[in-house]
Chain A
Amino acid sequence: DTAVSQTPKYLVTQMGNDKSIKCEQNLGHDTMYWYKQDSKKFLKIMFSYNNKELIINETVPNRFSPKSPDKAHLNLHINSLELGDSAVYFCASSQGFAKNIQYFGAGTRLSVL
C-alpha cells in the first residue's frame, strides 16, 4: 500500500492547457502539501492544507488552485499552463505541524511544450 499516492506520474501538455494532479494519503495525516522541484533540484513549498483548510499559499500564481475535498486528498489544478510550469510536483503529508516528518508521493513530472 502506497502511503502517499499521486497521479499521473507523467504529464505532457501544450501551453495554455488546463491540467490537474491528484494526491491521496492513507496515513491518517491531517496536513498535506504541494511542492515544486525545478530542474536544479530546488524544492519549494507551494501550498499547505490542514484539515482541508488552506494554511500556506507561498506566492504561487493564481493559475494554481489547490482543492482539498477531505483531509486525505489534496488536488492541484493548473490553468493556462506556461513553459515555466515544467517541473516535478510533489505531494506530501505530515501529522500536525510542518516540523514533523513529511512523507512524499512519487512525484508528477509535468512537461509543458
Chain B
Amino acid sequence: GQQVMQIPQYQHVQEGEDFTTYCNSSTTLSNIQWYKQRPGGHPVFLIQLVKSGEVKKQKRLTFQFGEAKKNSSLHITATQTTDVGTYFCARSYNTDKLIFGTGTRLQVFP
C-alpha cells in the first residue's frame, strides 16, 4: 500500500507540445509532493498538494490532486528544453518518510 505508481515511465515530446505525468496510489494520500530532477542533478521540490481536488499553477506547470486524494497529475503546457528531467511525485507515509513515485523521464526535442 505504500507504493506510488507514475505513468508514463518515459515521454519524448517536441518543443511546444504539452506533457502530463500521472501519479496513482491504491490508498488515500494525506498530501502529495512533486519534485524535478534535471539530468545529473538532484531532486528539487516543486509543490505540495493537500486538499481534495486542489489545483495549483506555477507558470506553465499545473498540478492537480484528485477528488478522492488517490491520484495527482502534473501538466506542462508548451514544453521547453529547460523542462527536460525526471519528475517525481512523493507521498508521506506515517509522517516518518517520503515514498517517491517511480518517476517520469521527460525528453524535449527542439
Contacts and interface: CB of A to CB of B under 8 A. Distances in A.
Interface residues on A, range: 20 to 34
User: Is chain B's binding surface mostly helix, strand, loop or mixed?
Assistant: strand
Contacts of B102: 42
Interface residues of B, number: 23
Contacts of A103: 45
B84 to A, nearest CB: 14
A8 B109 CA distance: 33
B48 A56 contact: no
A101 B31 CA distance: 11
A97 B103 contact: no
A43 B96 contact: no
Interface of A: 33, 41-45, 48, 55-56, 58, 90, 92, 97-99, 101-107
